[in-house]
């Protein structure tokens, strides 16, 4: 494998709106990020991915972009962005922007021009179809519910949007559109960013010609995934984008890729892949239901283990996965993966180590290093996320009471990860001096950065130790490039694996509150990390306490 600058790095996702507010308007901003760079540098992270801070009406919290070349005034100015890039560089850190090019905002200049002249140049930047009375062009359901077709204002046509109606899909079949996208990518790379996280990219290739699919809910519509399974040829677009942009700058790119076919993995993240890496979503989708969130079930420790190992086996040494516990689109990982009632400092550390030591690039989402948890919702009126609001309606239509519907969707709401970062045990968690745009989780009094920085036994300091271990010259080659071999897979609620390279390391996590005993195949040389003060051993027999995790050098 050709070694790249990003292989040994640790990434950290920032959701700018909720990270830190520097001016008291209740919204996080770029100057706020700059003021916290030393906090992030102290943690040990190298790459900072910023969720969208471009101009946007925020119909989908910034993933509806109205100008790809401007920073939204809510978040600051382009001068602020230039300052952030420069200050990050001083600390040896790299900035990733979010690349959102499956769709734009209906307030983007391109779409406005398409409305005025649907037959003209910009009409061809979108998927437009003639409107027919009582008949839609297709019966596809959008990701946010309802049909993917909306009337094009002032015309007799309709446009396609696989996400929100204010997010019209861009027509990648049009080479003129692709040229505009590449021009923008190169503009940002010239400015000094180091790459992109690439949003919803699998959606850019539609199955042509458009057709209906078998309805899968009572609304008579069909999941967009049925169409995507039939879409072939995305590689032509992605390969062209790589060659025209990323490759020229040795940029780091990580794709949000769903539904990839196994034989396509080398094309996506191999030696000359479309992307440097792609996220592992195996665990996040486990337990989901086509009926909606209300029908989803809790993932078990055994399923979590299986999902991780399946993803690792699928990739092998072809390339690098980007491993996550949570992100801006998921609930908090400690609330999602740990059994109900077992969410403690100790179990949070166990989950961190099991994820962090997997082969691939570790991505930490803001607040994850503190063990931030899901927020308690008392009313649907507290919810901002459009996806949660749609799932709430789906639950009501399925016959759930308002109380049960709220309880069902609250577990998976994207707002869980979007509540303000908990900096200190001060009003509004010291996120803002004003009124926060989204309510602060009331547990900020016990879970916050200020307290954890000064506590050697905190979740944050455990993450700091994990990062330091990954970067330790003695172990880096093994942790970054070594193989991963599962062990004791049949041992229930025990997740263990070897990392083999220059050294042999063994990661063992007891994924339950009851003790478990194992017998090592060979003696260990050193304990590299342990989330428990005790270490019970008799010859090669180890007894792990509830949610204990150990990393051993053999």
Q: pTM, whole model, 2 decimals?
A: 0.96
Q: How far apart are CA 208 and CA 231, in angstroms?
A: 7
Cβ neighbours, 10 Å, residue 4: 13
* pLDDT > 90 fraction of the chain, expressed in percent and rounded: 96
**Which residues, 6 or more positions from 25, have their beta carbon under 8 angstroms from its beta carbon?**
74, 432, 434
Lowest pLDDT segment from 261-265, 356-360, 456-460, 539-543 = 261-265
Whole-number pLDDT of residue 298: 94
**HSE toward the beta carbon, residue 362, CA cutoff 13 A:** 28
Q: What are the structure tokens assigned to 188, written together? A: 């940002």
- Three-class secondary structure of residue 507 per DSSP: strand
Q: Across-strand partners of 543?
A: 517, 536
Whole-number pLDDT of residue 539: 84
- Three-class secondary structure of residue 418 per DSSP: helix
Give the pairing of strands 157-160 and 195-198: unpaired
Phi and psi at 354, nearest 5°, equal: -60, -35
* pLDDT > 70 fraction of the chain, expressed in percent and rounded: 100
Active site residues: 199, 256
- The pLDDT of 40-69, averaged and rounded, is 97
Burial 483-493 (b: 16+ CB within 10 A, else e): ebeebeeebeb
CB-based contact 477:502 (threshold 8 Å): yes
Whole-number pLDDT of residue 289: 94
- Three-class secondary structure of residue 266 per DSSP: helix
Whole-number pLDDT of residue 259: 74
Whole-number pLDDT of residue 464: 98
Helices 459-471, 345-356: inter-axial angle, 10-degree rounding: 20
pLDDT mean across residues, the chain: 97
pLDDT tens digits, 390-436: 999 999 999 999 999 999 999 999 999 999 999 999 999 999 999 99
pLDDT at 156 > cutoff 90: yes
Cβ neighbours, 10 Å, residue 221: 21
pLDDT tens digits, 63-87: 999 999 999 999 999 999 999 999 9
CB-based contact 39:81 (threshold 8 Å): no
Q: Is the dihedral of CA 238, 241, 244, 246 positive or negative?
A: negative
Whole-number pLDDT of residue 258: 83
- The pLDDT of 480-498, averaged and rounded, is 98
Cβ neighbours, 10 Å, residue 306: 18
Supply the DSSP symbol for 512.
S
Q: How far apart are CA 59 and CA 469, in angstroms?
A: 41
Whole-number pLDDT of residue 146: 95
CB-based contact 357:551 (threshold 8 Å): yes
pLDDT tens digits, 114-125: 999 999 999 999
Q: How far apart are CA 344 and CA 458, in angstroms?
A: 11
pLDDT tens digits, 501-532: 999 999 999 999 999 999 999 899 999 999 99
């Amino acid at each position: 494998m050709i070694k790249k600058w990003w292989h040994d790095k640790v990434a950290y996702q920032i959701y700018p709106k909720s990270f830190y507010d520097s001016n008291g308007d209740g919204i996080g901003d770029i100057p706020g990020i700059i003021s916290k760079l030393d906090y992030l540098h102290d943690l040990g992270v190298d790459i900072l991915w910023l969720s969208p801070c471009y101009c946007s009406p925020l119909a989908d919290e910034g993933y509806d972009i109205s100008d790809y070349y401007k920073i939204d005034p809510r978040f600051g100015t382009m001068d602020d962005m230039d300052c952030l890039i420069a200050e990050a560089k001083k600390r040896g850190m790299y900035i990733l922007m979010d690349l959102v090019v499956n769709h734009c905002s209906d307030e983007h200049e391109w779409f406005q021009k398409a409305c005025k002249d649907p037959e003209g140049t910009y009409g061809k930047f979108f998927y437009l179809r003639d409107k027919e009375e009582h008949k839609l062009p297709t019966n596809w359901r959008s990701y946010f519910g309802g049909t993917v077709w909306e009337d094009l204002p002032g015309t007799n046509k309709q446009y396609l949007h696989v996400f929100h109606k204010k997010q019209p899909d861009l027509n990648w079949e049009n080479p003129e559109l692709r040229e505009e996208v590449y021009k923008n990518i190169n503009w940002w790379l010239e400015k000094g960013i180091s790459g992109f996280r690439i949003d919803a990219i699998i959606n850019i290739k539609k199955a042509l010609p458009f057709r209906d699919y078998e309805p899968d809910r009572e609304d008579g519509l069909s999941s967009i995934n049925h169409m995507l399974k039939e879409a072939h040829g995305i590689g032509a677009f992605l390969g062209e984008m790589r060659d025209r942009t990323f490759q020229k700058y040795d940029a780091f790119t990580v794709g949000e890729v769903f539904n990839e076919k196994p034989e396509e993995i080398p094309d996506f993240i191999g030696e000359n892949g479309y992307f440097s890496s792609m996220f592992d979503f195996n665990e996040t989708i486990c337990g989901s239901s086509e009926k909606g969130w209300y029908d989803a079930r809790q993932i078990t420790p055994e399923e979590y283990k299986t999902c991780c190992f399946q993803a690792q086996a699928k990739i092998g040494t072809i390339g690098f996965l980007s491993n996550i516990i949570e992100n801006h689109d998921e609930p908090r990982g400690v609330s999602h993966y740990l059994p109900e009632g077992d969410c403690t400092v100790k179990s949070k550390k166990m989950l961190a180590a099991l994820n962090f030591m997997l082969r691939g690039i570790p991505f930490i989402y803001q607040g994850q290093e503190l063990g931030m948890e899901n927020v308690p919702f008392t009313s649907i009126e507290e919810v901002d996320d459009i996806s949660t609001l749609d799932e709430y309606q789906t639950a009501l239509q399925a016959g759930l009471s308002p109380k049960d519907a709220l309880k069902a969707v609250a577990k998976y709401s994207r707002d869980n990860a979007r509540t303000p970062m908990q900096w200190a045990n001060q009003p509004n968690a010291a996120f803002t001096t004003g009124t926060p745009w989204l309510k602060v989780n009331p547990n900020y009094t016990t879970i916050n950065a200020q307290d954890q920085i000064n506590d050697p036994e905190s979740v944050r300091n455990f993450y700091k130790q994990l990062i330091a271990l990954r970067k330790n010259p003695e172990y880096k080659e093994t942790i970054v490039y070594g193989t991963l071999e599962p062990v004791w897979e049949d041992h229930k609620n025990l997740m263990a694996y070897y990392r083999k390279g220059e050294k042999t390391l063994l990661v063992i996590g007891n994924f339950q509150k009851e003790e478990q005993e194992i017998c090592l195949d060979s003696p260990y040389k050193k304990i590299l990390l342990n989330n428990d003060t005790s270490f019970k051993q008799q010859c090669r027999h180890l007894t792990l306490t509830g949610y204990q995790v150990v990393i051993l050098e053999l």
